[in-house]
Amino acid sequence: MLTRPENKGKHHIYSDHNPFKRPLKDLDHVSDANTGKCYGETYDELITDPTTQALCEFQTAADGTHLGQFSCYELTQMQIALGCLSREAREKDCNWGTLGWIPNIPKNKSQGRRSFVESGHADSTRLRAQLIHDEGLIGVAGSVHPAQDLHVMISFVLKGLVQLQKTGFTWDLMHNGRLYKGVKMIPFVSFLRVDTKEADPFCSKYLNQNKHIKHLCRECHCPTDQSNNHLANDKAKTQNQIVTLVL
């Protein structure tokens, strides 16, 4: 992505076209990814030598797609883009790379496949070889969190990116007609862009939303039967309360 010929100098958002320069402090506006508070504070935290180190922001996204009109299976694509590119450039498909694909495993079918294999039926021999490790066992008898298999797959897809954040990488950076040799790129991930459907299991959110659930709201203690009351002003949930529920 750093060598895409489609991207010219105008598509980068380095301050004064200098990849080493920190964005100005106390800006009275937010223009692009490098003018936000997140970027500035991360620069101050990670950059120790501004003459040789450059902050390399990564923006990630995940979105699911069904495999067919009558299929209950879907794939979630995890993608990555460079934060040093402008928003206009990031809207181009060529500036998004694929980290990996995450399949969903329908619980009912998976448990049925597992039960059939464990029955010892002669026809289950081939199916046994096709079963994914722990398929049909996740969430059985409340032994583990139902999102555990998803998070294992996410860990595998992000393994290389996590390692890259720890070590950084050296790069000969070509920008605006000038070659910066031996630049120490310091990566960080600013956010993961997802819709609610993907965000809920990614965050291990409790997915049951029937009338017996006390609160549907993620932010406050508004009772479920008052969720449609736009004037409700209930007590906000604290971080410690959320952590207790997740753990």
Shared domain check, 168 and 155: yes
- Please indicate, yes or no, if residue 159 is contained in any of the structural domains: yes
Residue with tokens 């390692």, as numbered in its chain = 163
Tell me, what's the pLDDT at 194? 87
Mean pLDDT for the chain overall: 81
The domain total for the chain is 2
- State yes or no: pLDDT of 13 exceeds 70: yes
**N-term to C-term CA, the chain:** 37
Query: How many of the other CB atoms lie within 10 Å of CB of 95?
Result: 20
Q: How confident is the model at residue 46 (pLDDT cuts 50, 70, 90)?
A: very high
Residue 169 burial by CB count (10 A; 0-12/13-18/19+): exposed, middle or buried?
Answer: exposed
- Are residues 23 and 182 in contact, defined by beta-carbon separation less than 8 angstroms? no
Shared domain check, 144 and 24: yes
Give the whole-angstrom CA distance, residue 59 versus residue 42: 14
- Domain span at 213: 208-247
- Please indicate, yes or no, if residue 123 is contained in any of the structural domains: yes
Q: In this predicted structure, which of 60-64, 83-87, 204-208 has the lowest mean pLDDT?
A: 204-208
Shared domain check, 125 and 238: no
Residue 107 burial by CB count (10 A; 0-12/13-18/19+): exposed, middle or buried?
Answer: middle
Shared domain check, 72 and 169: yes
Pairing of strands 53-66, 178-193: parallel
Give the whole-angstrom CA distance, residue 188 versus residue 234: 36
Give the whole-angstrom CA distance, residue 234 versus residue 241: 15
Task: Please give the DSSP secondary-structure letter assigned to residue 1.
Answer: -
Shared domain check, 123 and 218: no
Shared domain check, 213 and 191: no
pTM of the complete model: 0.68
Query: How many of the other CB atoms lie within 10 Å of CB of 154?
Result: 20
- Please indicate, yes or no, if residue 3 is contained in any of the structural domains: no
Q: Which of 146, 11, 16, 25 is nearest to 84 (CA)?
A: 11
Q: Is the dihedral of CA 138, 139, 145, 151 positive or negative?
A: positive
Percent of the chain with pLDDT over 70: 77
Amino acid found at 228: N
